[in-house]
Amino acid sequence: MISILYEILNTIRRNKMRTFLTGFAVAWGIFMLIVLLGSGNGLKNGFSSNFGDRLMNVVQVSSWRTNIPYAGFQSGRRVNLDNRDVKLTSAEYGNYINFVIGNINLGSKNISNGAEYLSSSMSGVNPKRIIIDGAKITQGNGRFINDLDIRENRKVIVISQRAKEILFKNESAIGKTVNVSGIIYTVVGVYYIENRQDVTTSYIPISTAQIIYNRGINLSNFAFTLNENIYDKETNDEFMSSYRKRIAQVHQVSPEDDNAIWYWNRFEGYLEMANVSKFINIAVWIIGIFTLLSGIVGVSNIMLITVRERTREFGIRKSIGASPLSILKLVIAESIFVTTIFGYIGLVCGVGITEFASQFFQPEQAGRNSFNAFLNPTVDINVAVQATLLLIIAGTVAGFFPALKAVRIKTIEALNNK
């Protein structure tokens, strides 16, 4: 092994410029592959970050007025969702969903604490709303709405971190009261949503909202989460088609009337994003491999030239008993050596560039309207392992045909070669 390495280094020493130019092509190919893969990850991470910690498998159902006359009713009829829709969804579609919750949008309310006040949107919610919205409550900041709040119609409220800073400054808000447009609520929790620091929405129990604000059993909207039985586009489309028809039947509206009852399927957006990411990843690998292929062709050509220059040497080796396999190993080893060394230089430079670039693409903290199109353009260890295997395979392929030519050299012809 040491003798083979010595011969390889000796050959490289005699052809420094040629080896450098050939190796540079390989290094550039793997460098571009890593940078392209990092860029693809940056796009994927950027779009993923815009969803934050919110669930991707959520469907939200809302309603307004009919646009299409149906079942003897004229268009323009107001459609109201209510608690019965939640019960129906849970009872008839339990095999496809994890949970379903109602929501009441109460609009903008003035919330005050002494002289401090702000205008905040307020919603009546169920306990699991915190999961859907991706909200978090850290230790020491209380809790979210719970089932007991719902059963006892408690006048409790969960406010955002931003609202707490305005109303209570540096003081703790837990256990204190706020005035919400003339109604007193006790603060039981302070939440935050990552990357949305200006959120001021407040939450109260849905039962309390229905009673105090005279909503009866009506809901502004409701949402449910899909389970693993619908984790592909075809099944998801079939489920949504069936579900739309059932809800439309209950409210006597046309299933095609998207204005009467409309659906925001977050999972469809997630599937589209996943497909785009898959396409980008495939495209990047194809472009990167073809870029690397140009370097491999260069290595193969150089090895052919090397074999031609060393024809007499290989003839002498054969005449003193060298086996064809030893010559084959020597040529392939030289090819792998050049490809791997320069490839690793390109790999390290590519990883370094993506790590450096990641410092400039941090998550936006501008608030709820911030949008990250590009974030953390780095590659993980799996990509580095794959690139390493690719380099070894590339070196083997680049050296195989020149090595085969070296093996086929006839001893007499090689010794007569000047």
Can you tell me the mean pLDDT for 327-350? Answer: 80
Token pair 């949504």 is found at 240
Name the more confident of 118 and 11: 118
Q: What percent of the chain has pLDDT over 90?
A: 39
pLDDT, tens digit, 9 for 90 and up, residues 222-271: 999 988 777 777 888 889 999 999 999 999 999 889 899 999 888 777 77
Q: What is the pLDDT of residues 21-56, one digit of tens each?
A: 777 877 887 788 788 777 777 776 666 665 555 567
Mean pLDDT of 341-355: 82
Measured between alpha carbons, how far is 389 from 378 in angstroms, rounded to an integer? 19
Between 264 and 383, where is the model more confident? Answer: 264
Cβ atoms of 22 and 298 within 8 Å: the answer is yes
Gap between the Cα atoms of 372 and 366, Å rounded:
11
For residues 117 and 110, the answer to whether their CB atoms sit within 8 Å is yes
Q: What is the mean pLDDT of residues 170-181?
A: 94
pLDDT of amino acid 367: 43
Question: Would you state the pLDDT for residue 365?
Answer: 47
- pLDDT of residue 8 exceeding 60: yes
Q: Where residue 369 falls among pLDDT bands split at 50, 70, 90? A: very low
Whether 165 shows a pLDDT value over 80: the answer reads yes
Query: What's the CA gap between 250 and 248, in Å, rounded?
Result: 5
Query: Mean pLDDT, to the nearest integer, of 356-371?
Result: 56
Predicted local confidence at residue 415, as pLDDT: 58
Average pLDDT over residues 213-220: 93
Q: Summarize pLDDT for 13-26 with one digit per residue, the tens.
A: 776 777 777 778 77
Give the pLDDT confidence score for residue 46 in this predicted structure. Answer: 65
Count the Cβ atoms, other than its own, within 10 Å of residue 289. 14
pLDDT band at 361 (very low <50, low <70, confident <90, very high): low
Spell out a b/e string for 112-140, using b for 16 or more CB atoms within 10 Å of the CB, else e. ebeeeebebebbbbbbbbbbbbbbebeee
CA proximity to 132, closest of 202, 82, 60, 195: 60
Predicted pLDDT of residue 313:
72
Is beta strand 261-265 parallel, antiparallel or unpaired with respect to 58-63? antiparallel
Average the pLDDT over each of 110-114, 296-300, 340-344 and give the range with the smallest value.
296-300
Q: Does residue 328 carry a pLDDT above 70?
A: yes
pLDDT for 194 equals 79
Cα(249)–Cα(282) distance, integer angstroms: 44
Task: Specify the DSSP element, H or E, that contains 44.
Answer: helix 16-49
170-179, 247-256, 305-314: least confident range: 305-314
Q: Select, from the ranges 23-32, 74-83, 316-325, 407-416, the one with the highest average predicted confidence (pLDDT).
A: 74-83
pLDDT reading at 376 higher than 70: no
Mean pLDDT in residue range 170-197? 92
160: confidence class by pLDDT, cuts 50, 70, 90 = very high
**Cα distance between residue 327 and residue 330, in whole Å:** 5
Euclidean distance between CA atoms 59 and 261, whole angstroms: 13
How high is the pLDDT of residue 125? 96
